[in-house]
A and B are shown apart, each in its own frame.
Chain A
């Protein structure tokens, strides 16, 4: 697989949000406005890039048995750094993302990429993968946020849109709208996507984060890895 494919797979074919269905919580919660979506996407991408590079560099050193705790500590460290940076340079963003900023630690995408990609690939590959996945996450967030902000609030990046501003569908910016837009987007991807996602219900079994349960002998990650192999 060449470098370009490695990058672009995260955008569409293996879009972490719309196809792999990872990181649903931040997607739903922070896609109320475009600014929030961009901020969340950027923060998650930075954490993903750092954690993928470091985990890939340390993949021969970290013992297999304690790898998940090691990853979590590394990721939590990077999240703390990003949190401090955002607090210092973009306090408004920190305010609006609130609790979802520290919750990047438990974002499935980051641990998922560490487990599925970074720990078996070289540093440059892992970095490219992180950038692609981060871009895919941001893209999906942006798509949702655009729909929710334009139709729900009648604005685009805070600028009022003439007709829509008078005919807001406010429910779209609230919690039910989040679920609804996300459902419709996934249905669209199912319908028009060239690469049919698995016709399987989403479960914690599919979530690479559930590696704890794989260790408990449930084989949760096996499916995700198989999907990765077939995709290649």
Chain B
């Protein structure tokens, strides 16, 4: 049980995907302007991450590794993720239209989001078991959500600020992201100290 908690907490705080690993910067900068779209995007990412892990981990363990096809990992994973996102969209549209309305616009954007491919590959390189992989994916997704929600708050403050001309738009957003990520440095070592091995 402790392993799961350690994996979950490190994925959310210490190795935050956006702020310390630089994965998924595109949606982080693009969709974090409003709180509700930030939450919608993050929910879609968590959902796809879990689905993608559930699909790619068995493929890697039972199909690629026994047949010495490890080198096909990148191609297979990206195709599985792309197909999965399409499938999820079709299923949601048909059976859960209300959820499709709220997550629908974000789903196609996620196909080529590096956070999703990143989490599936990292689960394999870290040699996680299936359960650990799922927990890690959930944590990564929650960490993404935390970063998005926090940052949308920071950005709403930026709206009214008086910013030098050349810093308007992206540069000031990046500087703000830098300070937000600074706060996450404070989590370094916290999890190890909470659960000494």
Listed in ascending order, the chain A residues whose CB lies under 8 Å from chain B are: 21, 24-25, 28-29, 69, 72-73, 76-77, 79-80, 83-84, 98-99, 102-103, 105-108, 111, 171, 174-180, 182-184, 186-188, 190-191, 199-207, 209-210, 212-213, 215-216, 218
Contact = CB atoms under 8 A, between A and B. Distances in A.
Contacts, number: 154
Interface size class of B (residues with CB under 8 A): 35 or more
Interface residues of chain B: helix, strand, loop or mixed (majority): helix
Interface in B20-34: 20-27, 29-31, 33
B166 A176 contact: no
Contacts of B71: 80, 83-84
B23 A25 contact: yes
Give the top 10 A-B pairs by smallest Cβ distance, nearest first.
A183-B174, A212-B108, A179-B178, A203-B30, A187-B171, A191-B166, A180-B178, A204-B30, A29-B22, A190-B166
A209 B112 contact: yes
Given A73-B75, A207-B26, A212 B174 contact: no
B73 interface: yes
Nearest to B23: A25
A103 B171 contact: no
A84 B73 CA distance: 12
Interface in B147-197: 164-175, 177-179, 181-182, 184-185
B133 to A, nearest CB: 15
A209 B24 CA distance: 13
Given A99-B122, A174-B185, A213-B105, A76 B30 contact: no
Contact of A212 (B30, B109, B114, B117): B109
Given A103-B118, A176-B178, 10 more contacts: A24-B25, A25-B24, A175-B20, A178-B178, A179-B174, A182-B174, A187-B166, A201-B33, A205-B30, A213-B105
A184 to B, nearest CB: 7
Contacts of A108: 26, 112
Contact of A202 (B30, B125, B184): B30
Contact of A106 (B105, B112, B165): B112
